[in-house]
Amino acid sequence: MKKLHPLILIVLLFAACTDKEQSVDAILESGNLSEIKAKRTELNNQQQDLRAKIERLNKYIQTHEEQDRPVLVTAQVVRDTVFKHFVEVQGNVDTNQNIVLNGEFSGVLTHIFVKEGQQVSRGQVLAKIDDGGLSSQVAQQETQLALAKTTFERQERLWEQNIGSEIQYLQAKANYEATENAVNQLRTQLSKTQITAPFSGVVDAVISDPGQLVIPGQTPIIRLLNLNDMYVKASIPENYLKNIKKGSQVIVNLRSIGKEFNGTVRQVSNYINPNTRSFDIEVAIPNEDGLVKPNLIATVKVNDYQSDEAIVIPESILQENAAGEMIAYTYKALNDSIGEAKRTLIEPGRSYENHVEVLSGLNEGDLLIYEGAKTLRDGQKVIIKN
């Protein structure tokens, strides 16, 4: 309500002082300046006192008019919905097919047959080490093997025809087998002079150059990667162990390349790290365009809880009373246009992304007040603007 107009205030003052107008006239006629000033001071004090009383009346009227005026709010019907809670951790992209190939034979690196970025197939020869004459030894032994085999086969046919002695047959057999074993050993040694791809993939780096001396197991030659079988590895606090299993839903976000993937947990570690009190999970991720690289940092959200028929409300509309109880307001209709706000105590459950699951206090079909809920009081009149 508006405050009283100054003109009204003057009228009131005039009415209050009418009975004293004659005395004012009398004082003015007397011409006594001291009495005139004293009278003015008296009237000023009376005027200030009246203004203070009028201000109190205005405030009271305004407060009670605002309390009685319905407040505009928005409301929505409470419905059952699916509520999912995710635990968010940081993970790391990796692949099991990421290795550095070292030489297994001591010698000089003579050839590199591939370039960085080249696609290779499993078993393809990537590099060659000087065999130091080992191939010639193999050729000689293979000639000896052919002779030993022919001798053994002939002696075997004679022995089957009861011609010759048993000792001749056994000696031919032993010589053949010994020569064959020697050739196989030399072939194995010779195969180590070639660096071959253990799986299909891409040459990520050529580390050594031709002419470099190769020390078995110590000289890195080529790094080989397969980017088709990528996965994210993440550590989860042990208190989530009973809720996260193989097949749990996962959302993986690779912010650095602007990619997000939906997947499932493919492996849950059976080991708890005693230092971090956590266990590891693996999540397979696609890499059709080849942008996913090993050691990329990933944000991993793992679904550890789900309710298929839950009542979910925004956290922003909740209030907490002095007893620590959570409060929301529902709409109760009084007539076709006006209703009242009804305070409702609720039991909150898990919360995720600014929404909370309500375990009790609200039912499906309730009309829940959203906008304006923070300033309401129990029983206050409201109008729904939507």
pLDDT in tens, 272-310: 999 999 999 999 999 988 899 999 999 999 999 999 999
pLDDT for res 386: 64
pLDDT in tens, 217-270: 899 999 999 988 899 999 999 999 999 999 999 999 999 999 999 999 999 999
Q: What is the mean pLDDT of residues 195-200?
A: 92
What is the per-residue DSSP string for 233-247? EEEEEGGGTTT--TT
- Reported as a pLDDT band with limits 50, 70 and 90, residue 2 is very low
pLDDT in tens, 87-130: 999 999 999 889 999 988 999 999 999 999 999 999 999 999 99
Q: Give the CA dihedral 342, 347, 352, 353, nearest 10 degrees.
A: 20
Rounded percentage of the chain residues whose pLDDT exceeds 70:
92
pLDDT for res 66: 56
Q: What is the mean pLDDT of residues 146-165?
A: 86
Residue 7's φ and ψ, nearest 5 degrees, are -65, -40
Q: Would you say the pTM of this structure is higher than 0.75? A: no
Of 369, 375, 374, 371, the C-alpha closest to 75 is 369
